[in-house]
Amino acid sequence: MNVTVLGAGSWGTTVASLTTALNPTILWARNPEVAAEINDSHTNASYLPSVTLPRRLRSTADIDEAVQSADVLIVGVPSKGFRGAVEEVRKSIRPWIPVVSLTKGIESDSLLRMTQIIEELLPGHPAAALSGPNLAREIMAGQAAASVIATKDLGVAAALQTVLRHKLFRVYRNHDVIGCEVGGALKNVIAIASGIGEGLGVGDNTRAGVMTRGLAELTRLGVAMGAEPQTLAGLAGMGDLVATCMSPYSRNRTVGELLGRGKPLDEILSEMHMVAEGVGTARIALALAEAYRVELPICEEIHKVVLGEQRPVDAYRGLRTAGHELDPG
């Protein structure tokens, strides 16, 4: 199969490096200089420093060239630019080919998940999401990892498995697209909370409590939206949550840690080369919570921190009140 990956960030480049082992793959980079670096030097130093990319991986800054021969289209741009990227390919994409989202976020204004945007803009194309505890640098270093390809048609999921799996990268199927996408988006907010704890030096007990209660929150919202609870206990829920909350490679955890150390958010974001989705997702999570009438106290505290309405240390103090563990809140 001819595979096209849109977005030459760390994760898009990693997925393209995996698929090119067995399938001709084109990686679209918006920046022509990045495309030239990938083609000429087989590196993408801005996003994956000290990593050598497969020599057969080809890149282009021409989105029409990248898409027109694709049998599978994979979209790995941040949620803010996701709709625009999908709109750009409408005139070039071949009929009926599956479209896979790598993006762990929710659209700000519409509150749509990424696969819903695909279904809206590209009707007739099977929409899928790849989600799980997938840290790009570890995968590029050859370390084992597992992920989930979620789509309503498990026949399509099985076909995508063969495209995406590679050596120590294991891909499971799941029909619960909602659960996989909600888990992937909300865990970024909880990772900011975990990072704040690291920056404040609260200890592993406290951070474990925040992660566990965070899992309860993303499960509560996911189920209200139509997800299955076991999905949120799996790779796209708990697995992704643990990796993102604990790893120093996690952008969202890093944002939280720097906030906990007293660094202003604007300064943190201005110095980051990549997007930390959790910053915007905090507000979106609360909008969804209101729409589905569920409580998300950790997301609420992090949203106040992001807005500058609350100090990070006070966010942790605000999480002290507790009722029955199985009750919401």
Minimal CA–CA distance to 75: which of 113, 114, 33, 22? 114
Q: Collect all residues with Cβ–Cβ distance below 8 Å to 205 and sequence separation of at least 6.
A: none
Token pair recorded at residue 164: 């995406």
Token pair recorded at residue 116: 């819903």
CA atoms of 178 and 164, how far apart (whole Å): 20
| Cβ neighbour number for residue 56 with a 10 Å cutoff | 11
Contact assessment for residue 149 and residue 160, using Cβ atoms and an 8 Å cutoff: yes
Instruction: Let me know if 167 is a catalytic residue.
Output: no
For the chain, list the strands marked E by DSSP.
Answer: 3-6, 25-28, 58-60, 72-75, 99-101, 127-131, 145-150, 169-174
Token pair recorded at residue 251: 């952008």
CA atoms of 168 and 155, how far apart (whole Å): 23
Q: Which of 167, 187, 263, 304 is catalytic?
A: 187
Burial of residue 328 (number of CB atoms within 10 Å: 0-12, 13-18, 19+): middle
Amino acid letter, 249 = Y
Q: CA dist 217 to 28, 36, 38, 204, 321, Å?
A: 36, 43, 40, 20, 15
99-101 vs 72-75, strand pairing mode: parallel
Give the active site residues.
187
